[in-house]
Structure 1
């Protein structure tokens, strides 16, 4: 007991649909008496098959694999081992409020699939635009459909405080440079509003598109609702006691989506792993996917893509040239002298599951 195993696991595709091999493998270990301690997303780039992958993803409309998971498990006693299955009778201190908002999907000046994108998306949150807001913006821009509506479903746990907004530090710029950048942003916003340009990419700031997107009124009938989206909830808001209610609510929303969406319509749900008060890790991406497959069925909602979203600042930039002092100052979070200070790695990523109506 207590011994550990670490796995590096990637995913696969079959007929352009996403096969979550990583989640399936994690479930096998959990069912065999292991408890997940850490789940790390490793971004992979510059692979030998990247050229072929970019060609195929544009031809067949899917994202290039640019990540894999590194999962650490600890062997525990099978007696009383929690397999993380959904328990409707679990106590909960909260009730959830659902807010539905329907808007028109902004017209895209380019074919959405023509932009080569991977499965890891980086975002730059600000005071006005949270991490979840920017995730929503790019999801709608990439997976939306012209001449259709999209519906956002937000969950709010009423006994909890609102989430913490991530603030990015700005570099000190001259007044001339600030004015120049402001004019560029205003010009881009005008061009985006006119539908003349698109900022769709893995590293766009998404702010202009988000502002344009939330200002749109829904299109009248017979325009369909082609996309329903549930943003992720920060793990600073949701507790482990809220997880059964959260999972049950997501199942309800997924059932509604399966009934209302047209064929080939998209249902997107964002998740963020939670570390409980007892230090137990709840891999909500894996659990929500299992819940939807079990309660709704792959015959209705089939997994098309899985995107890992992360705020800027948690990846190593290979293009950045470091001085000797900067390089010496960098270190691993789990270095020997830091192990006693850091009990667990911080959870900063969100996983978005993109389903298509069959």
Structure 2
């Protein structure tokens, strides 16, 4: 029997087999996902082929949209396959390479999350810079948050969809989450005259004002949003950035100014809806969209690929200048990824929820 040693080029390494711990979806959730809907497995990875890399993930992201991918329904992204590894944003470092453009040691972002070791064609991985601010190294997870898809979503939603103009008023639901904290800060940097957010609990409300620069915030757990919001926006709202739907969308429709724009990014209030526990009813004031000439527009970031270079450059500059705050809720251990996901879905995070793999 003859064996062949793979050839290598400068900046690459030869490859052996390895293992990866990965989370798989094994049942479609009905209502809130349960531990029995998923499993953590260890799989063997083959030796690298030409043009492939192996990456040790440093952080993986858990995000609300992943709940939709657990359902077998048509959407903007295919559902997770049963018995297959789930995917999502991740950042890690190349530990083995047969791709000259991504040598060992390169920091990369990619979509093979929910695992500790990722492997695939180099085209599926993008090199990103090491980040420092004030001479201090910033954790690589920043590329999953304010300098990654989170910040880009906020920028695209406000500029391309919300068409925010200087001097306008912005209301953000789910404002203490990853996208919400980014939206509030970016809105201010784009010239909003007043930024108001909603969050669950007095600590989060205070955090929005004290750390993220919101002018005002309401605690949706303390009283109905519809009752609290008007007093916080006496001049109405020009741009509503929606991460929640349900009662928040209804409350926003009450206070929108003429020609206002409602940016529909998420609807987490209904993600766990089931036949036995229906999601929130539609708004009873949708007619305001007609009488006030409002625009309601849903979006996903993939629709704005041409805007990403501009968004990336501006976010990086603002971050370097200390104008953007980045806050995370960090859970340790890839074995705790599902628990982190569920905590995020229940509002147990401020800022970006990430799992530190190592």
TM-score when normalising by structure 1: 0.27
TM-score w.r.t. the length of structure 2 is 0.27
Where relative contact order (Cα < 8 A, 6+ residues apart) is larger, the structure is 1
